[in-house]
Amino acid sequence: MIHDRRSFLRAGSLLVCGALLRPASIFAQANTTGVLSFDAAELKLLDFVSSYSSIARITGASVLGHFRPDSNSGLRVLVQVTDFVKAADSLLRTPFKRFYAKENSLSFVAQNAGHVIENLSAVDFARRMAQLGGKENAVFAHDALSYDPVAEQLEDPLAALSANEIRLINRPTKTPAALAVAMRGTGDARAAGVPEGSDFATWKAQLVRVMTTAKAAQPIAAAFVRELPAFAGLAGSDDVKSALATPLISSAIKGALGMTAKQAVGEFDRVREIFGQSYPDSGVWLYVILGKQVKRDTRGWIDPALLEDVHWREAFDTASKIEAAFETPELKSQA
């Protein structure tokens, strides 16, 4: 049965109830010190960063999410490095068992949350921080948030915290990019436990209510697949099911992958029943949506840049494990 699509489309006002309401007192403290919450893995990350730099900023949605103690939004940290030899030496003693490193970026998953560390020179750090605060570079107001974990000071140049909602600043004009923004905004809202702003919710509803043509389906479906792991991890499977039921996404998936929304939801539930909670939902969804396409042709669906994304890489690894499990004698008949 297809999940009620209003879950993905629900207006911000419907979220202000029960545990999803974030107390206004938290926002009242936004300019004070020590307002963010970190779990043990995140404290270990910050301690690791402090071993080679005293200047770092937590940025964007990872700031917004950490007003909520049980958020799984992960950390995205920009680090100013003056001694890259010292930073490289610290990497040899990293406390993280499994991580991906490329150039000056390090990413890993801990407790189902994706974390990213970017090590930058002083010049690049200053440039990135200047860009971070600019309205022209932000899609959402919370993209400009930054938090200094040493001084315990928060910067909110676009007043993201004042409205107690996810606020859209710049709207992409192309449908694939717009869908990616819609999914990211919903994921950020769910992870932070804040409502979607009415403007964003209305724009998103208008975006996904129109069916796409078979000719235009592939780039839209590819955008959905790119955002799917993070969306499933942050927003949850109920929102994935409701998103699949919208005219835009259901028609794109059907046109590009030959799969109906009902088939996708049914297969997810079937695979989840077989494996229980052995695998996170993001990997199960990626296996269900993209599994058959990967066997045929990955062009237009998977590229090296995607595998650098912490959420996508972890989900792809999980999907590969599920594929391998179905090749075993015990499960081959259920593949």
pLDDT for 82? 94
Does 199 score more than 80 pLDDT? yes
Does 280 score more than 80 pLDDT? yes
Distance CA 241, CA 237 (A): 6
Provide the residue type at 69 as one letter: P
pLDDT for 34? 52
Residue 9: which pLDDT band, with cuts at 50, 70 and 90?
low
Give the residue, 304 or 79, on which the prediction is more confident: 79
Provide the mean pLDDT of the chain. 86
Residue 36 is classified by DSSP as: -
Distance CA 26, CA 30 (A): 7
pLDDT for 2? 39
pLDDT for 36? 87
The pTM (predicted TM-score) of the whole model is: 0.86
Residue in this structure with the two tokens 């100013």, named with its chain if needed: 80
Q: Quick one: which of 250, 221, 182, 254 has its CA closest to 2?
A: 250
DSSP string, 246-258: SHHHHHHHHHHHS
Residue in this structure with the two tokens 């499990």, named with its chain if needed: 325
In the chain, what percentage of residues exceed pLDDT 70? 90
Does 32 score more than 70 pLDDT? no
Q: Are strands 146-148 and 56-59 parallel, antiparallel or unpaired?
A: antiparallel
Residue 198: CB atoms within 10 A of its CB come to 13
